[in-house]
Amino acid sequence: MNFLIDLQHPAHLHFFRNVIPRLKSQGHEVLITGRDKDILVELAHNYDIPVKIFGRARKGVIHLGMELIYRQWRLFKLIREFKPDVMMAVAGTYISLLGKLQRIPTYIFYDTETATISNFIAYPFAECIYVPQCYRKKIRWNHVRYNGYHELAYLHPNYFKSDPSILEKVGVKSDELYTLVRFVGWGSAHDIGRSGLTPGNKIRAIRELEKFGKVFITSEAGLPPELEKYKLKLEVTDIHSLMAHAALIFGESATMVSEGAVMGVPGVYIDPVGRGYTDEEEREYGIIYNFTHKQQDQAIEKAISILSGYQREKWRDIGKRIVAEKIDVSDMIYNIAINGSTVPR
């Protein structure tokens, strides 16, 4: 069989990373397409996964619209040449309509309810849409809710083992506490009109967090000059090992705090609207704490509270419980690719 997988974001490469070699090892052809977004090109290179890149992520509705037209035109030509039997994507903004027009089963995986424009473009044309059970919104079109999180497609213990030698690379000891901070660029379609921490509160948060240990920042946007020295310098493929040994994940990325959660690392998440999966990780597991952009002071205080009374084993046990209660999402993706629109178990 021929499979086409389209990537819109670096996290989407992680999502499909374990399915791609599994399909290839069984003799299937897999064509991976992507857009120039953040670290996707670097990530693909480091994992030695060939990705055909076209289209560049830029801010603004006009640029997003131009990219939509350009990428769909390029994808249309590739689909005609490659003749995929199945197409898959996270979000599916660029391939869903093409799949419908070409009568190719297109399976969409998503967990972001606030991506209204993307969902409007993709959902009506997909063969089936797969969302976590905790997805907040109702979906009118053919869909399946599954008991898992996107992050369990690549951070499930069946696939991921952290590398403790990463600590030496960043200059911390195994018993030291440190915090990983993530600031986003607010340039995605679902971020239009939204914002996170103010520059002043970014500085204040780092000053408070570093009282408990080192702080490492990854950021899509430029940093205030005062924070440049905290910027993480590390291979992009090492980030999850660094996260696995952190005491706290703090910032504006839902994906990153959820990644921490499934590895037993608590997170403080600041976003105007939040996500269904971070809500569940707070409500059911108490390992994520959600705050709006109007609750920045409370978010910083919660981070201080977690670090001041830090209990590593408590948090790790919660991570183990999440893994035990959720499915292996990569295995689900594989079964959908091979068997079609089936309900995951």
Q: According to the model, what pLDDT value does residue 102 have?
A: 95
Give the right CATH number for 2-148+327-339 from 3.30.300.30, 3.40.50.300, 2.40.50.100, 3.40.50.2000.
Answer: 3.40.50.2000
Answer yes or no: pTM beyond 0.75. Answer: yes
Superfamily of domain 166-325: Glycogen Phosphorylase B; (3.40.50.2000)
**How far from each other are the two terminal CA atoms of the chain, in whole angstroms?**
24
Cα-flanking dihedrals φ and ψ of residue 141, to 5°? -100, 175
- H or E stretch including 288? strand 288-291
2-148+327-339 and 166-325, same CATH topology: yes
Q: According to the model, what pLDDT value does residue 65 have?
A: 80
Q: Which distant-in-sequence residues (6+ apart) come within 8 Å of 250 by Cβ?
A: 179, 180, 181, 182, 205, 209, 267, 268, 299, 303
Token pair of 160, please? 């991921």
Q: According to the model, what pLDDT value does residue 190 have?
A: 45
Let me know how long the chain is: 345
- B/e letters for 174-187, b = 16+ CB within 10 Å, e = fewer, are eeebbbbbbbbebb
Where in the chain are the domains? Answer: 2-148+327-339, 166-325
User: CA dihedral defined by 8, 9, 15, 17, rounded to 10 degrees?
Assistant: 90
Token pair of 249, please? 């994940």
Query: What's the chain's average pLDDT?
Result: 92
Q: According to the model, what pLDDT value does residue 273 have?
A: 86
Instruction: Measure the CA–CA gap between 205 and 281, rounded to whole angstroms.
Output: 23
pLDDT in tens, 287-332: 999 999 899 999 999 999 999 999 999 999 999 999 999 999 999 9
Q: According to the model, what pLDDT value does residue 342 have?
A: 60
How many C-beta neighbours within 10 Å does residue 232 have? 17
Q: Which distant-in-sequence residues (6+ apart) come within 8 Å of 106 by Cβ?
A: 86, 87, 88, 89, 92, 95, 96, 98, 99, 100, 125, 126, 127
| Helices 199-209 & 296-308 angle (0-180, nearest 10) | 10
3-state SS, one letter per residue, for 146-214? ECCCHHHHCCCCCCCCCCCCHHHHHCCCCCCCEEEEEECCCCCHHHCCCCCCCHHHHHHHHHHHCCCCE
The C-alpha R_g of the chain, in whole angstroms, comes to 20
Is the pLDDT assigned to residue 189 strictly greater than 80? Answer: no
| Helices 254-262 & 276-283 angle (0-180, nearest 10) | 40
pLDDT top residue among 222 and 46: 46
